[in-house]
């Protein structure tokens, strides 16, 4: 069981790394919303920004832009 968890963790880390290199912050935020919509209510903004690899100011700007759409 431990090996399966390690494999899943490794795959998730690789996916996050790939996303942070290849996709803009807006796309990563939208993917987070799609995959884990409850995270935005459960975690503070600075934690979400860190997870996405952006500043909390950038996250705030992206959130405001998505609300206007």
Contacts 24+ apart (CB under 8 A), 19-25: 20/52, 20/53, 25/52, 25/53, 25/54, 25/58, 25/59, 25/62
Whether residue 1 has pLDDT greater than 70:
no
- Prediction pTM value: 0.76
Whether residue 57 has pLDDT greater than 70:
yes
- Cα end-to-end span (Å), the chain: 44
């Amino acid at each position: 069981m431990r090996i399966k968890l390690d494999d899943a963790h490794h795959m998730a880390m690789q996916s996050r790394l790939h996303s942070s290199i290849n996709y803009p912050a807006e796309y990563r935020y939208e993917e987070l919303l799609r995959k884990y919509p409850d995270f935005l209510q459960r975690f503070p903004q600075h934690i979400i920004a860190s997870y996405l690899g952006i500043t909390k100011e950038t996250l705030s700007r992206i959130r405001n832009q998505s609300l206007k759409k």
